[in-house]
Structure 1
Amino acid sequence: MSRVLEDSQFIALNSRDVQVNEEGCNQVAAWIEQQLDTLGTKFSNWQDHELHPKLQDSSTLDWIFLIDILNFSFWSDADTKDSGNHPARFGIRYKGKLYMGYWSLCAAVNKALDNSIPITTPSFYADEVCCPDDLIASIFASDTEEQIPLLSERIRIMRASGKALVKYYGGRFVHLLEKCNHSAQKFLEILLRDFPDFRDISFYKGRECHILKRAQILIAETWACFHGQGYGQFDDIDSITMFADYRVPQILWQLGCLDYSPEFGSRLRKSETIAHNDPMEIEMRGCSIWAVELIRLAVNRPNLNAIMIDFFLWDLAKEWQTIGYSPNKERALSSVPSIRVRSIYY
């Protein structure tokens, strides 16, 4: 059992305001068994999205690395429409289409590359002379009313991560991968040692608990992009857990896999901004990881791992949000919104 999974089990066993509902997990597992063909394509078709790179080379690895060091905190304070009838939340217009959330990040990076700005080259974004702050700010300048959250933190992380790659790995993500010997757990050790901004570790009831959302998703997206082969080969890929953010825990609650205390539910319904490392936040994230592990165990298929379940649930949550669908009116996404935490970790 990986450290993330051990710590998540500890959180689930000691949690007060979030509970893992084993009956709900078993029901979702039975439903997922009927969806295995769909689940299998969630990772194999990673490159099919219009914004994801199509080439399977080291330049794509650098693209994935940059995206994943910046893939955090895209939820919006805006819930109104601007004068152009576009959502007011942060968005990037690219090739005639407005992208939001994670996709806005991909669109901004791709637009910069199209304009001959080598933004995915670590030695470039590590260099404050070649790549000044105002250039980075212009790359992520919003095409809507709301600007990208935590811009200064994103710039800081780009500098620190780029410098670490230059110092230890010849300025390329591929050389970091070569040190891992196809081990996801060795990869995590390296990231936590040399890249402090991946240290997504919370202190809960006297114990350091590893959550590691961005570190694990960096492994998962590398694996998915390269179809588990070559650069994407990790012999222990099944040791990676789900990625505890704000969207997947919400749909786990909606599906009855998680139960919230009245106090936590009230804080979410009031759209309260909750501090990172608040005990309720830690419980939500840890219990989400453990719930997906119970689902995986209940399905008990060798070709299904937590990554595939996470990708499936994330896509489903976005789809249901778009069409306003809920299988359970008492647990509609609108009745208990996703958690609002400003954090560099998710």
Structure 2
Amino acid sequence: MSRVLEDSHFIASNSKNVQVNTEGCHQVASWIQQQLDTLGPKFANWQDHELHPKSQDSHTLDWIFLIDILNFSFWSDADTRDSGNHPARFGVRYKGNLYTGYWSLCAAINKALDNNIPITTPSFYANETLCPDDLIASIFASDTKEPVPLLDERIRIMRASGKALLKHHRGRFVHLLETCNHSAQKFLELLLQDFPDFRDISLYKGRDCYILKRAQILVAETWACFHGQSYGRFDDIDSITMFADYRVPQILWQLGCLDYSSEFESRLRKSELIAHNDPMEIEMRGCSIWAVELVRQAANRKNLNAIMIDFFLWDMAKEWQATGYSPHQERALSSVPSIRVRSIYY
């Protein structure tokens, strides 16, 4: 059992305001098995997403690395009720479409590359002369009324991560991968050692609990892009858990895998801004990881891991948000908003 999974089990075993519903997890496992049978390869094909790279080379690795050091906090101050894409929400227009959330990040990076700005090259974005702050700000300029959240933090993390690659890994993500010997857990160790901004660790009841959302998703997206081969080969890929953000826990609640206390639910319904490392936030994230593990165990399908379940649930959440669909009307996505935490970790 990985450190993240061990710590999530500890959190779930001690949680007061979020509970993992075992029966709900088993029901979702059955539903996911049906989806596997009907959707087939569509279930988790990372490259099918229109803004993800289609090539499989070291330049794509640089794209994935940049995306994942910046993949945090895209929820909108304007859209507190999760009622779809609010017209003021930060967005980037690319090839005739307006993208929001995670996709706004992908669109901004792709647009910069189309304009011959080598924004995915670590030696470029680490260099304040070659890549000044105002250039990065222009790349993330919003095409709506709301600016990108935490711009200063994004710039700081780009600089620090690029310099860390130059110092420790000859300036390229590919060289970091080469040192991990196809081990996801070794890869995580190197990330936490050389890149402090990946250290998504919360103190809960006297114990340091590893959550590692962005670090694990960097492993997962590398694996998914390369179909578990070449640069994406990790012999222990099944040790990676789900990625505890704000959207997947919300759909786990909607599907009945999680139950909230009246106090926590009230805070969410009021769209209260909750601090990172608030005990309720830690419980929501840890219980989400453990709930997906129970779903995985109950599904009992060969080659079905927590990564695939997470990707599938995230895609479903976005589809249901856009269409207003809910499999459990009493737990519609709009009835309890996702948690509002401004954090560089998710």
- Superposed CA deviations along residues 64-92 of structure 1, whole A, max 9, x for unmatched, are 00000000000001139xxxx97110000
- Superposed CA deviations along residues 110-156 of structure 1, whole A, max 9, x for unmatched, are 11011110000000000001000000000000000000000000000
Alignment of 1:1-346 (within 5 A): 1-37=1-37, 38=39, 40-43=41-44, 45-79=45-79, 87-346=87-346
- Superposed CA deviations along residues 297-337 of structure 1, whole A, max 9, x for unmatched, are 01111210000000110001111111111111211111111
Q: Aligned AA for 1:309? A: I
**Cα distance in 2, alignment partners of residues 65 and 284 from structure 1:** 27
**Contact 1:40-1:308 within 8 A present in 2 as well:** no
**Cα distance in 2, alignment partners of residues 303 and 221 from structure 1:** 16
Which stretches in structure 2 are left out of the alignment for 5+ residues?
none
Between 300-309 and 263-272, report the one with greater CA deviation: 300-309
**Contact 1:39-1:308 within 8 A present in 2 as well:** no
SS of the aligned residue for 2:259 comes to strand
**Cα distance in 2, alignment partners of residues 312 and 215 from structure 1:** 19
**Contact 2:201-2:208 within 8 A present in 1 as well:** yes
Which stretches in structure 1 are left out of the alignment for 5+ residues?
none
**Contact 1:123-1:171 within 8 A present in 2 as well:** yes
How far off its partner does 1:259 sit?
A: 0.2
**Cα distance in 2, alignment partners of residues 192 and 155 from structure 1:** 19
SS of the aligned residue for 2:79 comes to coil
Distance 1:317 1:227, change over 3 A: same
SS of the aligned residue for 2:342 comes to coil
**Contact 1:39-1:312 within 8 A present in 2 as well:** no
**Contact 1:91-1:100 within 8 A present in 2 as well:** yes
**Cα distance in 2, alignment partners of residues 121 and 234 from structure 1:** 24
How many residues matched?
341
Instruction: State percent identity of aligned pairs.
Output: 84
Between 320-329 and 157-166, report the one with greater CA deviation: 320-329
TM-score normalised over the length of structure 2: 0.97
**Contact 2:53-2:60 within 8 A present in 1 as well:** yes
Distance 1:40 1:239, change over 3 A: farther
Distance 1:205 1:86, change over 3 A: closer
How far off its partner does 1:109 sit?
A: 0.4
**Contact 1:184-1:234 within 8 A present in 2 as well:** yes
Q: Aligned AA for 1:154? A: R
How far off its partner does 1:46 sit?
A: 1.4
TM-score normalised over the length of structure 1: 0.97
Indicate the RMSD between aligned Cα atoms, in angstroms: 1.2
Structure 1 runs of 4+ aligned residues shifted over 2 Å read 37-43
SS of the aligned residue for 2:335 comes to coil
